[in-house]
Each structure stands twice: as C-alpha cells, then as structure tokens.
Chains A and B, each alone.
Chain A
C-alpha cells in the first residue's frame, strides 16, 4: 500500500475530502490555549530541504510540533550534500537513524517519488515541492481555503468543490502549484481555467483536466476564486513576455479587475507576493484576498496529512496510483 503523499493526482475524492475534514478539526486546536496534541509522540520526522523555502518548512515544522513529533531540520546548504553526497546516501543515513517520515523539498521533479519507491528508506515520504512538478499540501490548503470561504466552515464538512469555477493566473509553465491545483480541484469536482501568456503555458496542457485562456478579463466574471501565481523576477530576462509592465497590464489583478468578479469571489495567492506586478496592493490588502488565511490553513492541512499518514499503524489515505504505473 502507498503510504506517501507525492502528488495531488494520487488522491481520490474521498481521501481529499477526508484530509480537508480532518484539517477542519485540526484548525480548532489552533484556537486553544494549549496548541498541542500527543498524537505523534515518539515519532521522528525529518524536514529534508534541498531548496530554500522558509514558509513551507516552518509550516511543516509547526504542524509536526503541534502533533508532538520529534523534528529534525536538514538543509542542504552547508551539509554533506553540498560536498557531493547523493540522495541515496542521505536517505540511507536517515534510515539508519530510524526516521518515521521525511518531508522533502527538492529542485528536481520526481526526487520525492524516487525516495519513496526506490527502497532506500522505509519512512513515509511527503512531497513539499519538487521542481516544477507537484506541491500537494499547497493544493490541499488552497482547496481547504476555497471550501471554507465558498461553502462555509461547518457547512463544508464532507463536501467537495463541485461546480465551483476556479481561475489560475500567471506562470503556469514553471508552477508546481498550478499543476497540483489542477489535479486536486478536478478531483474535487471544480472547473479550472488556466490563464497565462502563451509563452508561459506548458506543452501538453491540452491533456490536463482544465481549460486554457489567454484573456484574463473574459474569465473574471464567472470565477468563484482567482488564484494569482508568483512571477519570478529572475525569469524576466528569459523573454517569456516583453516587459514587466506589459505583463502587469494584461495579467495583473488590480482593483478594477477585482470589481468585475462576482461579489462572493475570493482572490488567492500562494505567496510571496510581488506587489505591483501580479497583484496590486489594493487587492492584496482587501478582505477578499486570502493570503494570510492560506498560511494559517497550511498548518492545519499539514497536521491533517501527518496524522492520516503517521497516526496509525497504516495510513488512512489510500492512493489511486498502482504499482504498475511505477
């Protein structure tokens, strides 16, 4: 049985809803004076970060500590990895230490999958972002935020996102957040539209379970949620689009565009935001923008995933991926 969380595409609808419902209960722990549960006492979790990511790492760390797990943080910088140690050697070291779970962030797409399926290590593997491939807990926390805002905190229990229309805007080509979200939102019954300049749409996008548009304005009026992706300045020189201003004019979300969205619609962003480019300060600071909520929800979702994968003698979450597909 699979006992890892590698890709949002591996989750069935029931598994995804179970994770969201569990996260809803975990969120209640955050409202208590003592924000701690004894559930993972005595379990060791390693946060194995080959790429810098302060947000994701501290979110996982907070979740692990709230469940009373022992946490080891490993960053590649300054470690034996920078001296040339391979992923296999690192994994075997962790295995020898008796680690129960590995939360891995890696620049190479597929590294967590390799770790989970190579037999180097017996621990559960949770993908915290691999290259341009997947970031499943981000997709789950986004879905959780949408369900809370669009369906309701209590009304949402047991519900999916059937019939909701979600627009994802920006650098889809380089975005594991977009890929994970398309997979999960489709599983949860939502209709997804990707909006991006033609140069930032990946090859083969027609096989994804979503629509693609190059025109943001025409999709806004029928969106329940608009998710802005980060445009990395370092990609600016690569001629994916003429200028920052041009991008901002066509694909940036400002107050005027936000006003065209339905009244209940929300604006999401995985952070960190580049204010003035993909999103204006006016939109980022409005009540409809859920960036801060997404951060809080991230801890609840990660607690739910860790509990469901590690809380028992076998995981509660099953996966659709079969061994034949390996």
Chain B
C-alpha cells in the first residue's frame, strides 16, 4: 500500500510496469514460505487464534489476508474470518492528489468488537497507511487488540508504527521502489526491488 501504485483494481489507470532493472528479492515459493511462518507466529502469539479476524488493506493486502486465512485454517482446523479495509477516505494526503476511487471495505459478519484484528498489507513504508487503517477501525468497532502483518518492511517510517509479523525486512534507499506482485492480481508472485523512475525517464 505504501508503494507508489494507485491501488484500485476497478478504476485506476493500469499500473506502471516495474522498472526494467528491478530484481526479485522474494519469489513465489519464498512468499508461500513466509506466509506459512507468519500464520504459525499468529497462532503462537494469539494462543490458538480463537478470536482472530484478518483484515487486508486493498488491493494486495486483501489477497495476502485470504492466503493467511487459508493457512491459519489448515493449522487450527477452524475457519478464520477475513475481510478488507479500504483506508482511502482516512488518508492524510487526500488533499494532495485527485481523489482516488474507493476500494471495498468488507467486515466479517460478527464484526470486530472484542476480537484480535490482524491488519495485513503488502509493504510497510512510511506507516501512514496503517495510521489511516487504525482510524478507519475506530469507526467500525472496538477490537480487543490490533496487530500488523506485512509481507515486506522496507523501513523509512514517518510515524511510530511497527509491524508484529514481518515476512521480510528489506533495507532500502528512498531512491528505490518495492513492488509486490501477486498471482491473483498480477499473474505471478514476486517482490521486485528497483530504482525509482525520475520524471525525465
């Protein structure tokens, strides 16, 4: 979410192709492996994941949340509620860009009151998306606790926010971009690290 792409699948322009010099830092099997690890960590920390609700942040966070839910279901033998949380209306940079098309917010039927909500996103960067997500949660209910799971933490936080579950810590420079591609949306699973395009390119 903190990568530079417009996240909406329905209305936004097609995403820029990744830069040609981008190199993969995580491939399909690695992604499956780190998600399995995160699922085990969730079960361990939540002592069985009895009250866990997974909320993905559109677009790719939702697919990651669904994959995590499937893995948790395998481990715990129970169905884990999974939903999506669009944070567009809560962004602090709304007035700096044209308004984005909204993505779907879908809260599982039993709500989030008193549950352990695990927010799921693809990339953790400035932390502003997560701040917006915490605000959005506030309007929807009162979870027992909120945790954060991300596939990649690329650093450069602008707010005091930390992920509870990290797929891969990826030290980056601000001149680099991190692009997550998932089979559901992009046809393949990979995390690409590339140089940021400048305006002239």
Contact = CB atoms under 8 A, between A and B. Distances in A.
Interface string A21-43: 11001101000111011110000
Contact of A21 (B11, B86, B105, B139): B11
Interface in A1-54: 18, 21-22, 25-26, 28, 32-34, 36-39
Interface stretch (B37-45, B47-55, B92-100): B92-100
A32 B103 CA distance: 17
Chain A interface residue number, banded: 20 to 34
B78 to A, nearest CB: 27
A307 interface: yes
A32 B10 CA distance: 24
Interface stretch (A74-82, A160-168, A288-296, A309-317): A309-317
Contacts of A38: 89-90, 135
B11 A312 contact: no
Nearest to B97: A312
B102 interface: yes
Contacts of B102: 21-22, 25-26
Contacts of A28: 105
Given A18-B101, A312-B97, A315-B99, A25 B86 contact: yes
A39 B88 CA distance: 9
Interface residues of A: mostly helix, strand, loop or mixed? loop
Contact of A313 (B10, B86, B95): B95
Interface of A: 18, 21-22, 25-26, 28, 32-34, 36-39, 157-158, 307-308, 311-316
A313 B94 CA distance: 8
Contacts of A314: 98
B101 A158 contact: no
A36 B139 CA distance: 8
Contacts, number: 57
Interface residues of B, number: 21
B141 A157 contact: no
Nearest to A310: B99
A311 B101 contact: no
Given A21-B101, A25-B104, 15 more contacts: A18-B11, A21-B102, A25-B102, A25-B105, A26-B102, A28-B105, A33-B141, A34-B139, A34-B140, A307-B99, A311-B89, A311-B94, A312-B96, A312-B99, A315-B99
A313 B98 contact: yes
A312 B94 contact: yes
Contacts of A34: 139-140
